[in-house]
Amino acid sequence: RTPNAGRPAASSQQQPARSMQHARSEFEYLIYRYTGQGRSQHDDVKKTLEEIKVSIDAQPTPPTGDKDLLALSRSTAKLREVMGTLLDQGGRDVKCIRKVEMLSDSVLDNVEARITKELIQRCDFERIKDQIMRITKDLDAVRATPATTVIESCIDKARATVTVEQEQRAKEVLLELKEVMDCISREPAKLVPQAGQALHLIEKAQAEAPDSKKVADLLLKCLADLSRLFLKLKAAWLADADTARALKEVAQRGDDTASKLLLVTGGTCDRPMAPLVQHEIDFRAEQLSTSLISTAERELGSNNIGGAFDAMDALRPWWTYLKDVEATSLQVVSIFCKFHSCAAQEFSEATEEGDKDTAEAVREFAGKFDTLRSSFEGLPPAESSGLVAVLHLQEAKTSVDKELAFLDAEVEKAGLSLAKVVQALEALVPIWQTVYSADETYGMKLLKTCGGLEAWAEKTAAACPTSKVNGLVKFAEAYDDRRLRLSPPEPSTGQLQPRIAEMAADAHLTAVEEELSKAKGMNSKALLASLAAASEALQADGGSEAVNGRLSSAMDAIMDRLAKTFNQTVKARDSQKEEVLQQFAGQFDDIRACGCKGAVKADGAAALAPEGLGARLQKERQTIFEEQLTAIEEGLKPSSKLDITRLLEALQLVQKVWPRLINGSTLPNRLMSVLAPLEGRIVDAGIQAALTGNSAAADVLLQQAGELDAALAVFRVEATDDETSQPLRRQLLGHAFRAHVAAADAALRASTGPDYEVLVKELMATKVHCEDETCPVEVCVELLALVDSFEAPLLAAVGAKEAARADAALRVAGIADDARVSAMTRLGPEGEKQEGAALLPTLQAAKAAADKLDEMQDELDSPGGMNPKLVVQTMQELEPLWAPVGPTKAFQQRLLGHIACFSEKLAEDCERALGAEPQWRALLAVARDAELKQDALVLLSPGLQVRSLESPLCRLVAGDLLRAMESELGKESGLSPPVLLTSLQGLNEVWGKLGGADPLSLEFDEVCSITSRLSQATLQVHTRMHEAMHDAVSTDNSNKKTALLGFAQKWDATYPK
């Protein structure tokens, strides 16, 4: 800081005074700075600046777009506040002000790095720019040079770069555009497609350089040239309406594009293309209408309908431009009226003469004519129907005459075809109203033809066999349906179907009586079919009294015979035949209900009883129920052994007839009284299964209890609350649950180790039971206690070497967690209080630790020799995984074995490295690092005791160094002091790590031996040094004395403490 920079030098008289004033000011600032409020504010400023620096340093590198721009804006605002605070203090904290300046430079560099051409081209650039300018405005408040000016310059440069790139991309499009414009000039016939291509290229160029005024000017010039070409080559595009319409669309697109380009250049458009093109089209349409209408009138005058049609068809594409011209519309309507008259006359003449080709041609022309007229939008509606409708009426009359003649001829044949008759009648239906409404004389023709058909049907029904009479009934029904739709006129003899049906019913009843006369071998299907056919035939009007009497007698005989057969079938337990008979009864009752309404018995007495065959079979079932109840009573006597399977069979049999028992019967109460002791006996069996842990027996009992509940639910009668008991399955569910819990606990504590398959099966069963809403909540607490006891055994299994046991333990843990969740869900809020940690994540973490131990073992057992660093790395990776398994003995034992093996291999490597100082020093470093990792694992393993990894190596090294020292001292002459000092220095480094401090430890004697050997070597050194010094003194050898004293000092300094 140079406060006087830029000021004139003070005079020698002024300098002492100013120096005193400056010193006083500085003194006051120091007092303010380091005492009281000033010190507190200074600390706050420093803290804020550090926070701002951390925030700025956390910005992404390199900064892009608006990523973390909001955080940068907050940092800049804080920076501005700090600068304001410093200025309020007088601006004397130069260090903080300098730090503010440095931070502002970092912010400015960050913002400047964001200004790229990619940012300029983003659609949200203006939003990002506003954020950036707010940041630079805050920077202006803390900088001497405005940051706003720098950033605006960067933005201008980036924009210029983007514009240049856009113009470069548009250049290729402009070249292609020039080729298209030249092609239009050379080939006017291709004006419309080429103009569309040119406009596409203009739009593409504008999209490539949307902000380039230079490109916009060039494109506007091309549009102007295109407009001039449109007027110059109008003869080419006015040749047909489609081309003119396409060019108009191109012109409108061109005007829209020009509007966008003028926004860039700031100019205006004086002559849009679309209005000019529209004017030329309107003028051309007026010319063509005058010419084509004259041609059509001339051709109609010459009876050339085709020529006139072609002229009007040629006018059709231009009609959209003429439909609002009233005079032209009147001319077109007049011409279409003449068309209609000429075509109808020609078709009539061709039909009368039998000229099919001419008639087909006129019919085809009529379709085209109606289509042509409908395409002239805006014309008043035609006075009469279309030309096609007029021709259709003529065709319909011809078709009616043809079908009536066919029916008259068919009746005269010996082998009348019912299908063809119905088909001919159906063909008349859609055209009859059209023809009859136009000419009522056709009604007499129809009455004559239908009368002949009905007479033939009655005659044939009286003589045909039973197998064919139904066909005549169906024909009569189809005939009545068509005849009803062929009216007016109405039929004079009524409907045909009731007359034919009476004859058919008589024939079918004869077949029924013949089938009932058989003593055995009655064909039930044929019987029902004939009965149903007779019943169906009589549904229309009930039939005569004689036929209905025969039907009633036949039904009574069928009911008596089937009731007897049904009783025999149920007693024989023939379920299939019973079902067939039941179905027969249902079908019979349906036929009886539908076909015998109003029928009387043969003797003309009372109407039939309302009970059907189904009710008759129901009475047979009640008899069977009583027999089964007697069997149940015998089976539930105290002296009898309880056979639930047999009981279920009997209950399921009576269950079928229970809902149909007669009201007021004492059988239901009798059954419930007999079943009363059953509940207690089944519950006792469930308790015994739970006590013994026999889950299989408990499941069987539970299943049978559910089946009994289902059966008893049908038999249960209304009772008071005191008499109502819980379902058997619900009572047994808790006992079955306890049986599974007991079986799972036994499998967990098996003498040979947990039985995982049994655990899986039992836990899955308990989970299913927990999810049952009827499961007692108290047994869920027992399941939670069981699951809580799983952790230690399962951890031991995961920690074992066998992969199969570990995988099985993981599977059991997952299922146990699911069971825990189900139990807690069943317990509700109470379960949240007992919520424990999930087993699976813990075991998965343990599995990861076990996998690391496996990796460590693999490296230790590597055939090529272990890599100590990889072993240490594995120990380091094991540390974050060790906490959940550290207390587990299995994991501790595996870890101890690996460490012991590692220690042995390190000792072997160290023995081979003795004598090579770099190698044994590297091994000591590895052992030291491994011991740190070992200690970290020991802290997470309560009760685990390990030995030092470094101490054995240190003892090996110490022994080798002592051997070298002893070898050197064994020389009679030529003793090398450096060799002694080198060995002593190595001993000094390993001396404190030899271990053996505990007299009971295994290495105590080895350490004592090393200590003794060092003492003996030291004694030898002292003796040799004393002798050498005595000799040096006696010979007055000053150099030798100096060397000996120097050696003694180094020896004493290096000697292990």
Contact 705, 687 (CB under 8 A): no
pLDDT band at 1026; cut points 50, 70, 90: very high
Mean per-residue pLDDT for 313-338? Answer: 79
Q: Report the alpha-carbon distance of residue 146 to residue 137 in Å, rounded.
A: 8
pLDDT for 545: 78
Instruction: Give 33-54 pLDDT, tens digit per residue.
Output: 555 455 677 788 888 888 888 8
Task: Return mean pLDDT, the chain.
Answer: 79
340: tokens are 């209609």
Report in angstroms the alpha-carbon separations of 463 from 545, 715, 885: 22, 59, 101
Residues contacting residue 645 through CB under 8 Å, at least 6 positions apart: 704
pLDDT in the model for residue 763? 82
Query: What's the rounded Cα separation, in Å, for the pair 233 and 694?
Result: 103
Over 50: is that where the pLDDT of 86 sits?
yes
pLDDT at residue 604 tops 50: no
**Closest by Cα among 306, 314, 346 to 332:** 314
Tokens of 98: 């300098």
Taking residue 570's Cβ as centre, other Cβ atoms within 10 Å add up to 21
What are the tens digits of pLDDT across the range 117-175? 788 778 888 888 888 888 888 888 888 788 888 888 888 888 788 777 777 777 788 78
Whether the upstream peptide bond of residue 880 has omega within 30° of 0, thus cis, is: no
pLDDT of residue 428 exceeding 50? yes
> Over the stretch 860-902, which tens digit does the pLDDT of each residue have?
888 888 888 888 898 888 888 888 888 888 888 888 888 889 8
Residue 667 pLDDT class (50, 70, 90 cuts): confident
412, 473, 830 from 446: Cα distances, Å: 16, 22, 89
Residue 352 vs residues 346, 363, 394, 850, 943: alpha-carbon distances, Å: 10, 15, 10, 106, 123
- Alpha-carbon distance of 889 to 943, in angstroms, equals 9
pLDDT tens for 992-1005 read 888 877 777 777 88
The pLDDT of residue 1014 is: 85
What's the pTM value of the predicted model, to 2 decimals? Answer: 0.40
Please state the φ and ψ torsions of residue 465, each to the nearest 5 degrees.
Answer: -70, 165
What is the percent of the chain with per-residue pLDDT over 70, rounded to a whole number?
91
> What are 238's two structure tokens?
């006015």
pLDDT, tens digit, for every residue of 331-342? 787 777 777 778
Q: Determine the pLDDT at residue 105.
A: 87
Query: What pLDDT is recorded for position 8?
Result: 44
Distance CA 876, CA 134 (A): 50
- Amino acid making up residue 825: T
- Please determine, for residue 724, whether its predicted confidence score (pLDDT) is greater than 60: no
**Over residues 846-852, mean pLDDT:** 82
Provide the CB-side half-sphere exposure for 200 (13 A, CA). Answer: 8
What distance in Å separates the CA atoms of residue 443 and residue 445, rounded to the nearest whole number?
5
